[in-house]
Amino acid sequence: MQNKCAACGAAALEPGFIMDSGQSARGFTAWVQGELERGIFGGARLMGRPKYVIEAHRCTQCYYLNQYAREQV
């Protein structure tokens, strides 16, 4: 993982993640590999797609969120 902000270059990142508080959510957001495809009810098709936890590291200098998708869920 980079330890410098992609926006301003400061080495001032603090770890965090983006919360998902929706019903039956696991509490965090995930990145899904492959283009978005919708099922007949409009929801995203997720079967068989690799998913990764989105980490969002906040720069304490410019407040940019540096996001990473490293850990598969």
Contact footprint for Zn ion (CB under 5 A):
5, 7-8, 10, 59, 61-62, 64
Least distance (Å) from Zn ion to the CB of residue 12?
7
CA 44/CA 28 separation, integer angstroms = 17
Least distance (Å) from Zn ion to the CB of residue 54?
18
Least distance (Å) from Zn ion to the CB of residue 4?
8
CA 73/CA 46 separation, integer angstroms = 12
Q: For residues 29 and 18, is the Cβ–Cβ distance under 8 A?
A: yes
* Closer residue to Zn ion, CB minimum distance, 10 or 32: 10
